[in-house]
Amino acid sequence: MKPVAVRNIQRADSNAIGTFAALGVSTVHEALGRSGLMKPYMRPIYPGAQIAGPAVTVLAQPGDNWMIHVAVELCQKGDVLVVGCTADNTDGMFGELLATALVARGVIGLIIDAGCRDVKPLKEMGFPVWSKAISAKGTVKSTLGAVNIPVVCAGVNVEPGDVVVADDDGVVIIPKKLAVETAAKAQQRKDDEDGKRTRLASGELSLDMYKMREGLAKAGLRYVDKPEDV
Amino acid sequence: MKPVAVRNIQRADSNAIGTFAALGVSTVHEALGRSGLMKPYMRPIYPGAQIAGPAVTVLAQPGDNWMIHVAVELCQKGDVLVVGCTADNTDGMFGELLATALVARGVIGLIIDAGCRDVKPLKEMGFPVWSKAISAKGTVKSTLGAVNIPVVCAGVNVEPGDVVVADDDGVVIIPKKLAVETAAKAQQRKDDEDGKRTRLASGELSLDMYKMREGLAKAGLRYVDKPEDV
Amino acid sequence: MKPVAVRNIQRADSNAIGTFAALGVSTVHEALGRSGLMKPYMRPIYPGAQIAGPAVTVLAQPGDNWMIHVAVELCQKGDVLVVGCTADNTDGMFGELLATALVARGVIGLIIDAGCRDVKPLKEMGFPVWSKAISAKGTVKSTLGAVNIPVVCAGVNVEPGDVVVADDDGVVIIPKKLAVETAAKAQQRKDDEDGKRTRLASGELSLDMYKMREGLAKAGLRYVDKPEDV
Amino acid sequence: MKPVAVRNIQRADSNAIGTFAALGVSTVHEALGRSGLMKPYMRPIYPGAQIAGPAVTVLAQPGDNWMIHVAVELCQKGDVLVVGCTADNTDGMFGELLATALVARGVIGLIIDAGCRDVKPLKEMGFPVWSKAISAKGTVKSTLGAVNIPVVCAGVNVEPGDVVVADDDGVVIIPKKLAVETAAKAQQRKDDEDGKRTRLASGELSLDMYKMREGLAKAGLRYVDKPEDV
Amino acid sequence: MKPVAVRNIQRADSNAIGTFAALGVSTVHEALGRSGLMKPYMRPIYPGAQIAGPAVTVLAQPGDNWMIHVAVELCQKGDVLVVGCTADNTDGMFGELLATALVARGVIGLIIDAGCRDVKPLKEMGFPVWSKAISAKGTVKSTLGAVNIPVVCAGVNVEPGDVVVADDDGVVIIPKKLAVETAAKAQQRKDDEDGKRTRLASGELSLDMYKMREGLAKAGLRYVDKPEDV
Amino acid sequence: MKPVAVRNIQRADSNAIGTFAALGVSTVHEALGRSGLMKPYMRPIYPGAQIAGPAVTVLAQPGDNWMIHVAVELCQKGDVLVVGCTADNTDGMFGELLATALVARGVIGLIIDAGCRDVKPLKEMGFPVWSKAISAKGTVKSTLGAVNIPVVCAGVNVEPGDVVVADDDGVVIIPKKLAVETAAKAQQRKDDEDGKRTRLASGELSLDMYKMREGLAKAGLRYVDKPEDV
């Protein structure tokens, strides 16, 4: 890792980002071929937020938030900050003051593979954070990392400018060159699901709707009437 | 494991189920002799729901929700679906569409030893889920499991038709043949606790109410006045 | 460990406690030199509570809440009960009845390195608990522990009378002899942060406010314009 | 759970047990249709042992080994003791003295969903244990459990007399009524694998041996020559 | 926490230490009343070592081994270094070079609530380490901690000069003022166990040796002949 | 993720690989600027192996080893297979038969962010594996992944052809374009350490050797003679 901060990055298509923001994580993750999802330990610090935006990436040392300070001035309106660490860490590397600085730049949320603190003020400010832990543990500013290089965050490789989508179901990353194509697939999927929901609500069985009965029989599923018949 | 789906199961007594629904997990678990409780990693996806109903059981392969689709048509009004897996898994094996199908059958909740997604719509629908994780990870439909055979879910063996009770404290299973007897004990316990609560609220000490002082002295507890006297 | 209960303990300065209650965990933890914080697995059973008070300490055997009953009559108005265990445990060692007894004594909250149950009634009563787990698992009353001796709880050594501060960010312990000095530092820190927040909200960069640019350059941070220049 | 000890149980077929002992866990688990495997946190306290025998089952309270003492006289030569707990626990519920007693009865190993201690003497005695943890934490003898009832151990339901197979790969349980049939399948699988091993060792590809190429192509796998062609 | 290094500490009685070294962790832990045991995640980096010695204590920042360097010259022949951290950490804070320095001072082992690296050379040197993790992750030397103050390590409060006993079963701490008394109890316990082992090996049941049958009957244990009688 | 297998990849410099094989993980990780290390849950299935080689990468679905079969024919003599998964998994996706096939191709080891089985035969064959878990759980061959695309494995992004170094301390990845430069730095570091080891073994203090005393004093470390002076 080289200690470097990249000033200018290419951000993903903004129309695609708008589509992702409306559709949410589960739909987008499916549209991307079931990849790009961060590990499920990444949870929102309060429920209900749903965001999408291009990633500004930070590689931080555990327990050291120096590079987050560096990242602030490299953010633009609508960006999402994504912080990965060089080793597992749950310290509270982010809190109210940094959030205040990010809000002043127009940043709409934070994804951090470490801890977050000041949960109550962050909720009151309406600044959403997805983190690995909640912890008041203070951090130092002593070792360099990097800004806007590719980082692994919660099991996913994130390139600067990739799209981050986050809601109550978790966090998914869409590579920026796949953003437009994935947005179209995700919208299509959403439209399909609307129709299916109506049919299922009326009592139609998914076994019939998806025509699964033949496949189940071929795979060898056997129906019996009573437990004793197993 | 044989790939089989059992159509008809015997469900526990419905009056007992009504009693359990009113009393909640902690009281029922005590009445059952402190057994039958699922591991505490099973958490509700939103707080406040309290349910009781007979179990329709599913044994699923990790990351594969095919058998949940099979289970839907075997459910009746008031049932609770219980899903165990053949290996540890946190994938989002259940979401809004399956919930829509279950609601159409009158199912009142889901217990799944894996992940759940679509948390926000499920909360809006009022369909409660207790799960091991929240994850958007999509699943396949490729390997058979079974429906309505005994399954181990979060450390508890569940037979089809056993009673599931779930609330903010967790999930407990009552074997169907013990349901009536346990419901009576649970109600008795509840009535006892109401009296105790009143006495404690008025300042009576549990040491006196439960007559613990003699036992403590016999076991060797020593009171001293100051830290230096230890 | 000797099975002993200490009747009288020295409690930390009450003015300092008042200051801590107003400032919360993250600020106090920083003022204490970033020490005294319990592990981040200690979470509130419901969000929003913020308390501070002197610790009455309990050393309990796992799955055995006998000593919590012993502790009740040794508590005073404003105290916080702190329970450590001799081995890892998630059983529901505390619930509504014990909370009722503690409220009758004026106790304002519980910190327990084990499980808690009756989450819904505790929330309705407004009795806050920070615990390692939520679990309905019932406990026995069969083996002695101790009350008001030093206990390790979630990684922190707690002496009777030390100050407990707890909120949505976690739990921190302030040794009673450092309480007054730490309260002054914490208040100073709070006042400083108010000024910083205003400056950051107006768009000033923390890089400039904290004069970090020189240190970053000296440590070797290099700015480049484009990813290709890395 | 009723506090009961069952004196006489039906044990699985001894020829089948002999076959399982020779083949080991992975082969047997496959022959059983990939079920019955305990969670992978169950590890041998020393490497190299491989055993098979009928289960004598114990349901114990966490941190309480009273029922293991009860179980000793109900064991026969060749048995394997299987201990489940009513709640998660890592205490050292088993050590050298109990092992000495079991060896005197001819018991050949222990499976315990909790902790084990005296690791060095147990290794010197050659008494193999598969456990969740190694811990010196002492236990009490104060609350009843049961012996020779069905117990859930590390995620698997074990009936008394079922076959336990354990080696460096983990622990698998074969229901006693499936023992003979599964032993035959396992032996067949072993013989098949011997032939496959020879072919693979000579350089034949599994893609060809298992005729996977067509399936891969049908599923959509695309081969490209260089990374740039992806 | 004050950044301080204490030069001279009082070490526990050396005869007691000799006794502990011969008896090992499980016996000593029982003699201490089943307290003082570190959490079971503390494991030896290689099996077979058994040590006892007075603790020189270090409080380190996570990922920072500066204070271990400070501690070296404060160690004497026969000491055991005990390192606690201010937050959870698995970085490799200790390796071959530091071990070489400690061996030159006569230090006989290390207990560290973090990671260790250079496992193979440490094993070849015969320098035993009990750690939370094995990790090559390098560390910095930038933030102060303290040496020879009380530290919490793996859940136990350790005062400088307390006795550390460690073997394959884990790590236990004996407060120095209880060392002599505990050594006597531990030796007595060892002598008792030798007699019991002989009786158990000859086939006597622990139920009879410990006269448990009456207690079991009184507690309500019921013996039945067959599973159907439960 | 596109279901693709890349036939030809560029492998890192073979002289650098030879240097890495001799030096081991901890030294190489430091030389790379303390980055590239996989999470410490990646452990060897038996101790003592030390390898280095270019990565052939596999992205697999959890519990599905189809793509490992695809990867075999794309391996060359000296390669190391690296398997990442699209979701957390501990199933035994690799065993003796696949190892036999890899050995026939000259592959020298496996890194898998999932489970491994057949531990005893693998040890006898001398085929080293670093894995997240040991598990006999069998896998299916039903869903496509990819071969020789970038994969995240245990928290590190691995490009095909990057260097894998693994030993008892863990696993580190060196990007292929940094291999030559890093090998030189690592050798230099090794030579430096040899000199330091000699000095430390002779009793020189690292405080003096690294000239840390001034820095410690400047940071505020205070030495006191007795605990009472703190």
E44 contact F CB<8A? no
With an 8 Å Cβ cutoff, are C1 and E33 in contact? yes
Q: What is chain D's alpha carbon radius of gyration, rounded to the nearest angstrom? A: 21
- What the block records as the tokens of E4 is 């301080």
With an 8 Å Cβ cutoff, are E4 and F206 in contact? no
- What the block records as the tokens of A202 is 């009326």
- Residue A142 has a pLDDT of 87
**DSSP bridge pairs for D64:** D140
Q: Which backbone phi and psi does C147 adopt, to 5 degrees?
A: -125, 135
- End-to-end Cα separation, chain B, in angstroms: 59
Nearest chain C Cα distance for residue A175, angstroms: 16
- Residue F142 has a pLDDT of 87
What average pLDDT is seen over chain A? 96
Decide: F137 and F114 in contact? Cβ < 8 Å.
no
Nearest to C49 by CA among C153, C171, C159, C134: C171
- Residue E225 has a pLDDT of 96
ipTM: 0.95
Strand duo E109-116 + E129-134: pairing: parallel
E157 closest CB neighbour out of C2, C86, C157 = C157
Q: What is chain A's alpha carbon radius of gyration, rounded to the nearest angstrom? A: 21
pLDDT class for E128, splitting at 50, 70, 90?
A: very high
Provide the whole-model pTM. 0.96
E193 contact D CB<8A? yes
- What the block records as the tokens of C199 is 């400056």
With an 8 Å Cβ cutoff, are A144 and C219 in contact? yes
- What the block records as the tokens of F51 is 């390898």
Q: What is the pLDDT of residues E173-214, one digit of tens each?
A: 999 999 999 999 999 999 999 999 999 999 999 999 999 999
Give the CA count within 13 Å in the CB-facing half-sphere of D155.
Answer: 21
Q: Work out the average pLDDT over D140-165.
A: 96
Q: Work out the average pLDDT over A144-154.
A: 97
According to DSSP H, which parts of E36-145 are helical? Answer: 66-72, 96-105, 119-125
Q: Work out the average pLDDT over E120-135.
A: 98
- Residue C121 has a pLDDT of 97
- Residue B142 has a pLDDT of 87
Q: What is the pLDDT of residues E13-27, one digit of tens each?
A: 999 999 999 999 999
Q: Work out the average pLDDT over D138-143.
A: 89
- Residue F1 has a pLDDT of 75
Q: What is the pLDDT of residues B30-89, one digit of tens each?
A: 999 898 999 999 999 999 999 999 999 999 998 999 999 999 999 999 999 999 999 999
Nearest chain D Cα distance for residue C141, angstroms: 10
Q: What is the pLDDT of residues C177-193, one digit of tens each?
A: 999 999 999 999 999 99
Burial of E147 (0-12, 13-18, 19+ CB in 10 A): buried
The DSSP code sequence of C154-209 is TTEEE-TTPEEEEETTEEEEE-GGGHHHHHHHHHHHHHHHHHHHHHHHTT--HHHH
3-class state of residue C29 by DSSP = helix
3-class state of residue B2 by DSSP = coil
- Residue E154 has a pLDDT of 98
- Residue B130 has a pLDDT of 98
Chain C hits for D134, Cβ within 8 Å: none
E88 contact C CB<8A? yes
- Residue E2 has a pLDDT of 86
- What the block records as the tokens of D221 is 């796998």
Task: Provide the percentage of residues in chain D whose pLDDT is more than 90.
Answer: 93
With an 8 Å Cβ cutoff, are E62 and A89 in contact? yes
Q: Which backbone phi and psi does A59 adopt, to 5 degrees?
A: -105, 115
What's the rounded Cα separation, in Å, for the pair B131 and A64?
A: 34
A170 contact B CB<8A? yes
- Residue A125 has a pLDDT of 97
Q: How many Cβ pairs within 8 Å bridge chains B and C? A: 122
- What the block records as the tokens of E2 is 């004050």
Q: Work out the average pLDDT over E148-163.
A: 98
* Element containing residue B153 per DSSP (H, E): strand B151-153
pLDDT class for C142, splitting at 50, 70, 90?
A: confident
F19 contact D CB<8A? no
Residue D1 predicted with pLDDT over 80: no
With an 8 Å Cβ cutoff, are E69 and F30 in contact? no
B34 contact D CB<8A? yes
Q: Work out the average pLDDT over B149-154.
A: 98
- What the block records as the tokens of F8 is 């030809």
Identify the sign of the CA torsion B85, B86, B88, B91: negative
C169 closest CB neighbour out of A69, A136, A148 = A136
Closest chain D residue by Cα to residue B150? D157
pLDDT class for B1, splitting at 50, 70, 90?
A: confident
Q: What is the pLDDT of residues A89-108, one digit of tens each?
A: 999 999 999 999 999 999 99
D136 closest CB neighbour out of E172, E203, E225 = E172
E35 contact C CB<8A? yes
- Residue C165 has a pLDDT of 98
* Element containing residue E153 per DSSP (H, E): strand E151-153
- What the block records as the tokens of D197 is 């091993």
To probe the interface with E, which of A1, A61, A89 has the most E CB atoms within 10 Å?
A: A89
Q: What is the pLDDT of residues D168-177, one digit of tens each?
A: 999 999 999 9
Q: Which backbone phi and psi does A184 adopt, to 5 degrees?
A: -65, -45
pLDDT class for B2, splitting at 50, 70, 90?
A: confident
**DSSP bridge pairs for A146:** A59
What's the rounded Cα separation, in Å, for the pair C60 and B162?
A: 35
According to DSSP H, which parts of chain D are helical? Answer: 14-23, 25-31, 66-72, 96-105, 119-125, 179-201, 206-209, 213-219
With an 8 Å Cβ cutoff, are C137 and B34 in contact? yes
With an 8 Å Cβ cutoff, are C87 and E37 in contact? yes
| Per-residue pLDDT in tens (0 to 9) along chain F, 230 residues | 789 999 999 999 999 999 999 999 999 999 998 989 999 999 999 999 999 999 999 999 999 999 999 999 999 999 999 999 999 999 999 999 999 999 999 999 999 999 999 999 999 999 999 999 999 999 989 889 999 999 999 999 999 999 999 999 999 999 999 999 999 999 999 999 999 999 999 999 999 999 999 999 999 999 999 999 88
Nearest chain E Cα distance for residue C45, angstroms: 22
Nearest chain F Cα distance for residue B87, angstroms: 7
To probe the interface with F, which of A34, A90, A185 has the most F CB atoms within 10 Å?
A: A34
Burial of E42 (0-12, 13-18, 19+ CB in 10 A): buried
A87 contact F CB<8A? yes
Residue A1 predicted with pLDDT over 80: no
Nearest chain A Cα distance for residue E45, angstroms: 20
pLDDT class for D2, splitting at 50, 70, 90?
A: confident
pLDDT class for D41, splitting at 50, 70, 90?
A: very high
